[in-house]
Amino acid sequence: MENQMTLRTWIDEFEKDAFIDCSVETQCNAGWYDWFCRDASLRNKTIKIGKIIRKIKDGGKVELDNTYVFFKNNCPLSGPLYDDFRICEIETGDVLFNIHKLLLE
């Protein structure tokens, strides 16, 4: 993924309701990479996951200016759909954290 917004910027934008629109374009800008749910579901998922992400503080294992976040709605071979978000290094794209099995219905 290229030209990703830093996690600090993402949190600032989330706080300003930049991802509140239901459009697919807005939700892709929020970080949705792949999904199997209805497009209309993405907005609410962004809001629920965003409430978790905005609690992330700088320092320790996450540097807000050197990482980005993206979201995926997963469809396993058996079981319900589930969401995850991944925090990655901007420079390398390496996934640092994958927070998964968020059943956010």
Mean pLDDT of 42-54: 95
Give residues with Cβ within 8 angstroms of 53, minimum separation 6: 7, 10, 11, 14, 69, 85
Cβ atoms of residues 44 and 20 within 8 Å: no
pTM: 0.88
What's the pLDDT score for residue 105? Answer: 46
Task: Give the chain's mean pLDDT.
Answer: 91
Mean pLDDT of 27-34: 95
Mean pLDDT of 63-88: 92
Mean pLDDT of 1-16: 89
**How many CB atoms are closer than 10 A to CB 38?**
8
